[in-house]
Amino acid sequence: MKEDLQKLENQSLAPKVNTDNKLGNQNKLKIILLILAGVAILSGTFYAGMKFSTKREDSKIAVPKTVEQLTPTPTTSTLTNNDETSRPVTPLKPNVTAPATFGFIKTIDLPGIGVRASFPENTKISYFDPKTSYSANLPDSWLNFSIYDYQGGSRRSWFRDNIGRPESTFEAFGANNHQGYLSISKDSSGNIYDLYYFAVVGTNKMLVVQYGTGVDSQKLDKFKSFISTLQIIGPNLQGIERQDQAKFETQRWSDIRKMVWERSDLGLRVTTPEWIESRIPKSKKDDGTWEYSEWSRIYPEAKTSRFAYGGEETDGVVITGLFFGGTHLAFLNSKYTGKNFNEVINSLLPGAGFCSIEWKNSKSECGDIYPDYCYTKDEVIQSLVLKRTGKFGPYSGQLRGINASFSQRRDCRGEDIWLIQAQGGQFVLSTIYPDSETIRLEGF
């Protein structure tokens, strides 16, 4: 079980020429040439590219906290990796339908990730972690906004490896102070079922926007119209949390840590405080403080167990010690060793909860099942979200979960879970975080 997580805008500059009827033709020509030179200089400056640093960073998600760190992304990429070679640059903001046509009229900031955009009235904004992800529930669709680590290289390759699907096509697109790609996936009938926009918003962060709705011939047009309103602003975490929100003091633990589980063949171990104490708030006093139950102490330990993912059972361990339950690891079958992350995700659907086993082979199998509760495996895969990447010592991990709107509608009750490629390429599923204050999964 992961630790507590907090709930949750051109002025166009043009050379101003005062025409004097008394000027001779020679002077007029000089002025025109000067103007053209100025425009060329301005254009060259605007479209000048920059190289993004490929300096690696600690993979723990941390959105830059200052405007200086989150510099506007240029409209040119000079990345030269494989499918993204240098090329002549043209303006990437094509003609799009006016945002107001689709009701995109209300400007809303997503301050934690440094995004501003126009939404329809009555849009509900929520976040799971204000530093990394927001969701927007529109009257007839939804949008997800996420920030990921990006270490440089081909943006399309990064997207294809981490989020996209092999059949996706890319379309260069940009607006305001950002430039990236649309990722479009269509079924055999030509209907769009996956639609994303991704752009680098700093030297090492990638913004990914996902758009979801039913079959809609205007889906791509709507999404382009929306993205044309999007701006990158400096992230600001102040004021995100309600100051009147009660701050419960319900947990404390020992400063002394111990190892409760280790497997050298995987290169993983779990460490915990020597003890963890928890208590429950009972009632609020007149002075605004809370009365609590007595402290209850638990000594963390590892216990073997069995787990089921995507209909497959596997061995694992549960780490006890948290008052509201334990955290666990599940060791995947050797048949997954050597595969890539997406192959494992698409097979087992970790993070999808009940949706990982209750999907139908086709809609025709739904029968009398209420349509909202009948879905295919592809629909589940399309709704799985990459929330974080991380490092467990030398090993890479991806935190996966199910899209909230899909889960709530289908009652999936998913759980965010790490997929870790451990020593020897063996995969491990874990609800234990590498940066937890209490129960922590470490690689060696």
The per-residue DSSP string of 237-251 comes to -TT-S-TTS-----E
How confident is the model at residue 89, as a pLDDT?
35
DSSP 114: T
Of 437, 2, 5, 3, the residue nearest 240 (C-alpha): 5
DSSP 305: E
Confidence band for 193, pLDDT divided at 50, 70 and 90: confident
**Average pLDDT estimate for 235-258:** 71
The answer on 438 and 338 residing in a single domain is yes
Task: Report the CATH number at residue 154.
Answer: 3.40.1000
- Residue 159 has phi, psi (to 5 degrees) of -65, -45
Q: Which of 223, 243, 263 is the last residue of a domain?
A: 243
Domain contains 43: yes
Q: Is 44 exposed, middle or buried (0-12, 13-18, 19+ CB in 10 A)?
A: exposed
How confident is the model at residue 128, as a pLDDT?
67
Rg value, the chain, Cα:
26
Whether residue 32 is predicted with pLDDT greater than 70 in this model: the reply is no
| Coil/strand/helix, residue 39 | helix
How confident is the model at residue 16, as a pLDDT?
36
Q: How many residues does the chain have?
A: 444
Share of the chain above pLDDT 90, in %: 39
Q: What is the pLDDT of residues 56-76, one digit of tens each?
A: 233 333 333 322 222 233 322
The answer, as to whether pTM is greater than 0.75, is no
The answer on 326 and 222 residing in a single domain is no
Whether residue 343 is predicted with pLDDT greater than 90 in this model: the reply is yes
Confidence band for 214, pLDDT divided at 50, 70 and 90: low
Lowest-confidence segment of 87-101, 148-162, 211-225, 344-358 by average pLDDT? 87-101
The answer on 276 and 257 residing in a single domain is yes
Domain count, the chain: 2
Q: What is the pLDDT of residues 278-309, one digit of tens each?
A: 888 888 777 767 889 999 999 999 999 998 88
Task: Name the residue range of residue 129's domain.
Answer: 10-243
The answer on 152 and 202 residing in a single domain is yes
Higher pLDDT, 131 or 159: 159
The answer on 291 and 163 residing in a single domain is no
The per-residue pLDDT of the chain, averaged, comes to 76
Beta bridge partners of residue 268, listed in sequence order: 263, 443
Share of the chain above pLDDT 70, in %: 74
The answer on 338 and 277 residing in a single domain is yes
Q: Which of 243, 261, 294 is the last residue of a domain?
A: 243
359 and 387 in contact (C-beta within 8 Å)?
A: no
How confident is the model at residue 27, as a pLDDT?
46
Whether residue 259 is predicted with pLDDT greater than 60 in this model: the reply is yes
Confidence band for 403, pLDDT divided at 50, 70 and 90: confident
The answer on 301 and 184 residing in a single domain is no
Q: What is the pLDDT of residues 86-98, one digit of tens each?
A: 333 334 455 789 9
Q: Which of 243, 267, 294 is the last residue of a domain?
A: 243
How confident is the model at residue 324, as a pLDDT?
66
How confident is the model at residue 238, as a pLDDT?
66
Higher pLDDT, 41 or 174: 174
As a whole number of angstroms, the distance between CA 278 and CA 318 comes to: 19
The answer on 294 and 166 residing in a single domain is no
| Coil/strand/helix, residue 37 | helix
Measure the N-to-C terminal CA separation of the chain; round to a whole number of Å.
22
Higher pLDDT, 20 or 144: 144
